[in-house]
Structure 1
Amino acid sequence: MILRIFGKSRSNRLIVQRQYGVITATARQPCFYTDYGVPDTVMGRFEMLSVVMILFLRRTSKSSESGKQMAQEVVDAFFMDIDYSIRELGVGDNSVPKRMKKLAGMFYGRLERYVRCLQDRDLEQLAIALAQNIHSVEADPADMAELARWMLANADHLDRIDEIVVETGMVSFLVPESMETGRV
């Protein structure tokens, strides 16, 4: 019995690592930074990783209990990765919790706003939200129109995937260059 517990834990860890790897690989696609207007900065990469995580969480919110549990573990991996990145940037140990709290607040604020726009299929408001979060309040939403369309296409794609794909950590995303057929 004890071996089954350890085996399951290792299996879950591999599933979570695989899924988080797909999420980060998607967020790191060069076209987001060269063609979609996301700045190639630490915060730009945080914003793009947040966008992909939000798409993933939107899908897994409709999952079975095991899918939701796996999603929570992916979120935990996301925040552990952010914590590690903050430390690698040289932020002192005493400042890390404060920065993590701020970034978590930013992430969950974006989650609520982006999901609402996706549910309403409101590309205009989604582009406005993306422009404000990725650039600034004064940014032109037209600069984020392609990213908003990509998000909506992915939301539709993720809505069509089977639950077993979620539970096994095999969720894939459409890649911008070939949204019609490509996946990461």
Structure 2
Amino acid sequence: MILGLFRKKNNNQAIVDRQYAALAAAARMPELYERLNVPDTVMGRFEMLSIAMILFFRRTRASATSGQEIAQEIVDAFFQDIDYSIRELGIGDNSVPKRMKKLAGMFYGRLEAYSKAMDTDDAEALALALQRNIYPETSAPADMSGLAGWMMAAESHLSAVAEEVIATGSATLPPVS
């Protein structure tokens, strides 16, 4: 009982869980892999989950404090999920922190690169950034213009989502059209 006094109370946990599940489901839409040239691999899934988090994070940057707080908790849940997945893949405990640091760097690098292109509404620059990140070692990467277009549409979709929807963890990403 006394240990409960030292635990962090998270009143947003149900909201965070609901929103993270919705974003993770969006990142697993088969059309992303079948029609938009995202490889259906562990890293391809990481890329799409990162994109879903980035889109949500960008939407909530203009939210009230509670929306930004929820967004940060969702990004934290994302990294906890990545940590769990790495361990499930059989990576030893000693290697996990090093890999997590690398994946965090990759995520924040993508946030910066994608935001730069999206802030200027430059779908071509976004497609090139996606190619560099999703196909880093390929001499002839797949065309990422469809994914860039979907991301632009998803950002527009999210910008129209009411604050009340964000506050309840009920925001969704649009389907691939």
On whether the aligned pair clears a TM of 0.5, the verdict is yes
Greater relative CO, 1 or 2 (CA 8 Å, sep 6+): 2
Amino acid at match of 1:126: L
The count of residues paired between Structure 1 and Structure 2 equals 169
- For 1:30-45, what aligned pairs fall within 5 Å after superposition? 30-45=30-45
How far apart in 1 are the matches of 2:126 and 2:19?
A: 25
2:72 is aligned with 1:72: yes
Partner of 2:152 in structure 1?
152
Amino acid at match of 1:168: T
- For 1:1-184, what aligned pairs fall within 5 Å after superposition? 12-136=12-136, 143-177=143-177
> 132-141 or 61-70, which moves further after superposition?
132-141
More helix by share: 1
Q: Which runs of 5+ in 2 are unaligned?
A: 1-8
3-state SS in 1 of match to 2:97: helix
Contact 2:123 2:148 in 1 (8 A): yes
How far apart in 2 are the matches of 1:16 and 1:73?
A: 7
With structure 2 as the length reference, what TM-score do the two structures score?
0.91
Once the two structures are superposed, residues 3-53 of structure 1 have per-residue CA deviations (whole angstroms, 9 ceiling, x without a partner) of xxxxxx565111100000000000001111111111111000000100111
Contact 2:36 2:147 in 1 (8 A): yes
> What is the RMSD computed on CA atoms of the aligned residues?
1.5
Contact 1:128 1:141 in 2 (8 A): no
Contact 1:55 1:155 in 2 (8 A): yes
Contact 1:37 1:144 in 2 (8 A): yes
3-state SS in 2 of match to 1:143: coil
How far apart in 1 are the matches of 2:66 and 2:151?
A: 25
Instruction: Give the direction of change, closer, same or farther, for the CA distance of 1:38–1:11 in structure 2 (3 Å limit).
Output: same
Percent sequence identity is 57
